[in-house]
Amino acid sequence: MKDNLKLENQLCFPLYACSKEIVKKYKSILDKFDLTYTQYIVMMVMWEEKEINVKNLGDRLYLDSGTLTPVLKKLESKNFIKRTRSDLDERNLKLLLTEKGIKLMDKVQNVPNEIGKCINLSKDEALQLYKLLYKILDNKE
């Protein structure tokens, strides 16, 4: 058997496995805030943008409406966001933070720190990794 099909020689497998393991870690941390990882990254964009439509949100998160629609409905049912159609263009769904959604930001302040503790990389290594990942991502557009 040639080595090129061995799992240990793949670059993509550790990427896939690592992503899953870290999302799993997030789950254990986010549970107490009644958030999933996907809901959490949606909220991160909301805290930055205050107002955004599904299309632009999807562009930021590399997700499409098929994934986002149910997630956004869930976040609305939890009263973290509000969903209303734009007046200017009724195709656009305007996403807005609620009071509860704004308050959530304070509550999760320590999440990035907690996650950081689970990843045993030095500051320099983390930065290296960050740059390599964005180099791949930027190429895919």
Applying CB under 7 A, which residues contact DNA? 16, 20-21, 23-24, 27, 36-39, 53-56, 58, 62-72, 74, 83, 88-93
Choose, by CB under 8 A, the member of 56, 61, 74, 98 that binds a copy of itself.
Answer: 61
Helices (H), the chain: 12-30, 37-49, 54-61, 65-77, 99-107, 111-118, 123-139
CA 68 – CA 49 distance, rounded (Å): 17
What's the CA gap between 128 and 126, in Å, rounded? 5
Q: Smallest distance from the beta carbon of 89 to a copy of itself, in angstroms?
A: 25
Alpha carbon distances (Å) from 10 to 4, 25, 65, 138, 139: 8, 24, 31, 21, 19
Site for a copy of itself in 65-124 (CB under 8 A): 105, 108-109, 111-113, 115-116, 118-121
Instruction: Work out how close the CB of 88 gets to a copy of itself at its nearest, in angstroms, rounded to a whole number.
Output: 26
Q: Which two tokens stand for residue 67?
A: 């994934």
Site string for a copy of itself, 25-54 (x = CB under 8 A): xx----------x---x--xx-xx------
Q: How far is the CB of 107 from DNA (least distance, A)?
A: 18
